[in-house]
Structures are given as C-alpha cells and as structure tokens.
Amino acid sequence: MYKNRKLTKKIIVYTTSLVLIVVMLFSIISITTLLTFKSQSVKDAKDTLRHNLNKNLQSEVLFYAKIIKRDMDSRKNTLFTLGKFLETKFDSISEGGYASALQSSYDMVNESFGLRSLSIIDGNFNKLCQYPQETDVSNLVRIIKSQKKRILMSTKRIQYIDFHINKDKSVSYSYIYSFKDKDGNLLFLIFDFQPYSIYSLAKTAQVKPYSQKYLWIINKNGVLIFDPPTAKHPLITLSDNVDLKNKQNGEVLSEIVKNDILKGKSGTSRYIFRNVDKFVGYTYIKELGWGLGLTLPTKEFYAPILNLSTSIDKKTIYAISVLSILSAFIIIATAVTSMFVSKKITTPIVNAVETINAILEGDVSKRLPEGSGDELDEMAQSINKLMDFFAKLLSDMKNK
C-alpha cells in the first residue's frame, strides 16, 4: 500500500486555502460594505436632521420674535391710548391733582401688565410726581436724562426705554409718553414695567423646565436681558451683566453677536456657552434693539443619530457573527469535501503506482479498475494494457 499521501494533503491544503481566501475576501468586502453603509446612513441622517434643524430653529426664532414684537406693539398701542386719555384728564386738573390720577391709572394698568411705577417728569426731565411713592425711580430718571437728545428730537409721542437696572437692583423696562399741559408745557408720562411678562413669554420656548432648548434675549449692547434657568446655569438677567460680546463667554458666540445679531441679521450657527455645545437660530427685533437666540444642545440633536448608529452597530455585529459562523461552516465543509474529493482523485493514482511497482517486483497479475470514463480511467486502461503487454512478454519468454 502506498503510504506517502502528499498529493492528498496538497489537494486539501490548496482547496481549503483557496476557499479560505475567497471567504476572507467576501467577509472583508461584506464588512466594508456594511461599515460604509452605516457611515453613509449616519451621514445622510445627520445632514437631513441638521438641515431640518436649521430650518426649524430659524422659523421658530422668527416666530417668537413676531410674538414678542406683537405683544410689545400691543402694549405700546394700549399705553398710547391711555396716555391720550390721561393727557385730557390732566388738562382738567391742576398739578397738585396729578397724584390721584396716576394712582387710578396705575391700578388699571398694573392689573394687566405688571406696572412697577407711573411717573410724570417735566420738559427739563425733573420728576414732578410718581406712584407708588415708595418705588425708587431715580435711576430711571437718570437714564431718561441721558437719552434727552434722542427723546426730544423724536417725532413719536411714545418711545421705548430699554431694560435697565434700578437702584433696588430690580430690572425693568419703560415707555415714555410725551404731551403738553394746558399751559403748553412739555411733560412726560413714564410707564415703568416689571419684566416678568416678557420672561414668561420667552420661557414658552423652553418646553420642559430646565431644558437646554430655550430662547435667550440680549439688548442692543449684547448683554443678556433674559436667559432662563437650565441644568447648567441659573436664571440670567440684566443684573448679572453677562455680555455675550465678551470673548470670555465664547469666541464663536461673541462673533455671532457682534457680526450678525447686532447688525440685524437672521440665521443659524453653532457655539459653546458655559461648556454646553449648542446650535442656535437667531434674529433681531430692530424696533426694540433686541437680539433673540433659540438654542438646542448638540447632545440632544445627536441623540437620535447616536441611537441610529447604535442600532446599525448591533445589526452589523449580528451580521458579522452570522457571517463568521457561515464562513467557519464553509471552511469545515470544504475541508471535508476536499478529503473526499482528494481520495477520489488520489486512490486511482496510488493504485497505479502500486501496480507499476508490482511490475518491478515481477508481478504482472495486477489490474486497475476501469469504467469511470475520465482521465484517470484512461490512465488505468493504459496501465492495464502495459500490464497485459508485460504479462504476454513474460509468458512468451517462458515458453521459449
């Protein structure tokens, strides 16, 4: 029996190696395709969501700007009507009767708008009277005096005085209504409002308490008027003096405020404020000198994308696991099949070798099986003919 089975080993090794290479190439191509698909899917999802986010942030902040402006315009129109009413009322009373008229007007306006104080100053910006008496309006009068030139040059009967800090550290904003008394003297009626109604209106953008999606407001100097409390910081108002133009609050944010918002532009961008990375849609209300920013943390934005990526990762791992099991099965099946096939191929060759060796030993009786109809069968037939030839030759030699 022929013991050296190198050909069998070679067939098994070559066949298994070839299949292994094919399986590895297939696995690499499949994994690369899966990872490319994942990367492209996440990128497409990110681009689509970012596009929609920018669009939504822009439309939302413009929507809130319209609401706030409409609310302030409504308040302005109401005060203008009230100012005209008080103007006619003051014409029928002496200066000493202003106080009672202010009190009744204060009670009426305060109920709807949260009035801090109601005051009258003369053309030289000196206070004549106010209500309530205990409310300090000295800082307000000083601010109005500082804007004396603008107020006197304006043709508008009612003008807006932006958010300011009072002596008691409270924050308020005002409207000033100009009129003349019955003697032709210029007077100003000052409506000083608490800011809570504006805060409440801006806070409607913050769907959940302490949510990182919210609306902030800055004045024409870039200082925060309102920034609602979040998980990262408490309520910020004008009294905190947070200047968003200051690069210490973020260089990107500083550039957005200086170069875009305060120049009356609307748009979207991204910045970091107090260690929170955010997207922002911004706009400017020219009539009030307010900049508005509607923010959404990138963490909240990327959450569904991360979920998608995690889901794809799980499916990819599952696919790779299935592919690995299938590859292992294919390799084992290939090895077993190679052994079977190699036996089919090598057995006739081994028999042929043994038959030829038998000739060398003087045995010409061996014959190879025939009938497979392939190249090995042709080899068997040729060897059998050779055996017949040697058998006849030996027989002839013996007979002589």
- Of 251, 221, 226, nearest in space to 240 by CA: 226
pLDDT per residue rounded down to tens, the chain (400 residues): 444 556 667 766 777 777 778 777 777 777 777 777 767 766 776 676 666 777 888 899 999 999 999 999 999 999 999 888 888 877 666 656 677 888 888 888 787 788 999 999 998 999 888 999 889 999 999 999 999 888 888 889 999 999 999 988 899 999 999 998 888 889 999 999 999 989 988 988 876 665 678 899 999 999 999 998 877 778 899 999 999 999 999 999 999 999 999 999 999 999 988 888 889 999 999 999 999 999 988 877 666 666 666 776 677 677 777 777 777 777 777 767 767 776 777 777 777 777 778 777 777 777 777 766 777 778 778 887 877 887 777 777 777 6
| Integer Cα distance of 389 and 354 in angstroms | 17
Cβ atoms 144, 121 nearer than 8 A: yes
Angle formed by the axes of helices 6-91 and 298-360, to 10°?
170
Q: Is residue 311 classed exposed, middle or buried when 0-12, 13-18 and 19+ CB atoms within 10 A define those classes?
A: exposed
Kind plus residue range of the DSSP H or E element containing 34: helix 6-91
pLDDT at position 49: 64
Assign residue 210 a region (left: φ > 0; alpha: ψ between -120 and 50; beta: otherwise). left
| Integer Cα distance of 356 and 386 in angstroms | 9
Assign residue 373 a region (left: φ > 0; alpha: ψ between -120 and 50; beta: otherwise). left
- Tokens at residue 220, please? 């024409």
Long-range own/partner contacts, residues 8-17 (CB < 8 A, 24 or more apart): 8/339, 8/342, 8/343, 8/346, 11/338, 11/341, 11/342, 11/345, 11/346, 12/335, 12/338, 12/339, 12/342, 15/334, 15/337, 15/338, 15/341, 15/342, 16/331, 16/334, 16/335, 16/338
| Integer Cα distance of 324 and 259 in angstroms | 56
Q: Is the pTM of this model over 0.85?
A: no
| Integer Cα distance of 151 and 143 in angstroms | 11
Domains of the chain: 6-44+323-399 (no CATH), 93-194 (3.30.450.20), 199-303 (3.30.450.20)
Cβ atoms 130, 137 nearer than 8 A: yes
